Amino acid sequence: MVHIPVLLNEVIDFLQCESDKVYVDATLGDGGHAEYILKKSSPAGILIGIDRDEDSVRFASNRLSLYKKRIFLFHENFRNIKNIINNRVRIPKVDGILFDLGVSTRQLMTAERGFSFSHDAPLDMRMDRSSGVNAAEIIHDTSEKELRDIIFRYGEERWAKEISHAICRERRKMPLTTTSQLAEIIVSAIPPAYRYKRIHPATKTFQAIRIFVNNELGILGDAIRDAITILNSGGRVCVVSYHSLEDRVVKNLFKEMERGCICPPHIPRCICGREGIINILTKKPVIPSEGEVTINPRSRSAKLRVAEKTI
C-alpha cells in the first residue's frame, strides 16, 4: 500500500518550488512529496532525498526514475543532513527542506517490519534494519520501570504501569518475539471497560516502543538545527509531525532560533549577542482539512510548522 503524502498542497505551497533551486526531502518515504517537489521545480530543480530505510529509498528511486538526472538519493539518517549536503553532494546551501516525520503507511503495512499489531510478525520496528536494536530486544532487556517510562512518555498511555508489569510477568514465562504476543499482553493488561474504544488498545504502546527503538525524539532537534544552518537566506524548512512530543521539539526550537537571545529572563539587556536567524511562518501549526482526514485517516494527527531563514 503506497503512502499518501500528508498536507501535500500546503507543503508544496510553503516550499515555493522553482527551477534552478535545490530541495531536500529528509524523509523520502515513498517519494510522494518528492515527486511533487520535482514536478513543481521543473525543468532544472534538484532534489536530494534521504531515508534511513533502505526499502523506502529503493521504492522512491523507482518511482522517481523519470527525474533521475535531477535527484540524489541517500540511505542515511537525517541526523547527518549537513554532512550529506556539504560533503557528499558537495554544495554549501539549499533552498528548501522537508521533514515528514514518523513511519510511512507502507512500512506500517509491511507485516515483516513488525511495526503493526494488525499483522503477526517478528517484533522488529527498526526503520533501518541494517543497524540498531530491535523491539524484541528492548522488550526483553529493559527493566520494568524503564519500560513503564517508555510507554508513558512516548505513548502517553495511562495504563503504562499495568502494561509494563504484564510484559515483565509474561517474558519470564517465555520469549516474547512477535507482534501478536505483545498485542495480546497489552490488551489483557488494560481493564475490560477500556479495551474496546475507537483506537486499538495496543496503538499507544506500539508507537512508544517504535519511537524508542528508532530514537526518534533524541535526534530531531539537532537535525532541524543543522538543516537550518544549510538553508540559503529566504529558504524554508517544513516539518510535519504526528505526535505532541515531536511537535513540541519543533515549536520550541523554532521559537529559540527566531528569538536568538538566550540570556536568562532576569537580565534586563541582552548580553549574549545572539540574533534570530529564522521567521516562523506558521504561528499556529497547519493541520489537515476534514476532507483530507476523510480520504486519509492517517493524516489526522499531522501538524505542519514552517520557518524561513532570514540571514
Ligand X SMILES: C[S@@+](CC[C@H](N)C(=O)[O-])C[C@H]1O[C@@H](n2cnc3c(N)ncnc32)[C@H](O)[C@@H]1O
User: Could you list the residues that contact ligand X (CB under 6 A)?
Assistant: 3, 5, 27, 29-33, 50-53, 56, 77-79, 100, 102-104, 107, 127, 219
In angstroms, what is the minimal distance from the CB of 296 to ligand X? 11
Nearer to ligand X, 33 or 171 (CB): 33
DSSP track, the chain? -PPPPTTHHHHHHHHT--TT-EEEETT-TTSHHHHHHHHHTTTT-EEEEEES-HHHHHHHHHHTGGGGGGEEEEES-GGGHHHIIIIIS--S-EEEEEEE-S--HHHHH-GGG---TTS--BS---SSTTSS--HHHHHHHS-HHHHHHHHHHHH--TTHHHHHHHHHHHHHHS---BHHHHHHHHHHHS-GGGTSSSS-TTHHHHHHHHHHHTTTTTTHHHHHHHHHHTEEEEEEEEEEE-SHHHHHHHHHHHHHHHH-----TT-SS--S-----EEES-SS-B---HHHHHH-GGGTT-EEEEEEE--
In angstroms, what is the minimal distance from the CB of 132 to ligand X? 11
In angstroms, what is the minimal distance from the CB of 33 to ligand X? 4
Which triple of cell numbers denotes residue 69? Answer: 538526472
In angstroms, what is the minimal distance from the CB of 38 to ligand X? 12
Nearer to ligand X, 14 or 159 (CB): 14
Nearer to ligand X, 3 or 70 (CB): 3
In angstroms, what is the minimal distance from the CB of 205 to ligand X? 20
In angstroms, what is the minimal distance from the CB of 165 to ligand X? 30
Which triple of cell numbers denotes residue 31? Answer: 517519494
Residues in the chain: 311
Instruction: Give me the residue label for grid cell 486519509.
Output: 296
Tell me which residue of 11, 95, 110 sits closest to 48, measured CA to CA. Answer: 95
Nearer to ligand X, 29 or 201 (CB): 29
Q: Which residue is nearest to ligand X (CB)?
A: 29
In angstroms, what is the minimal distance from the CB of 48 to ligand X? 12
Nearer to ligand X, 73 or 103 (CB): 103
Nearer to ligand X, 55 or 144 (CB): 55
In angstroms, what is the minimal distance from the CB of 93 to ligand X? 20
Nearer to ligand X, 27 or 142 (CB): 27
Nearer to ligand X, 186 or 250 (CB): 250
C-alpha to C-alpha distance for 51 and 81, rounded to whole angstroms = 11
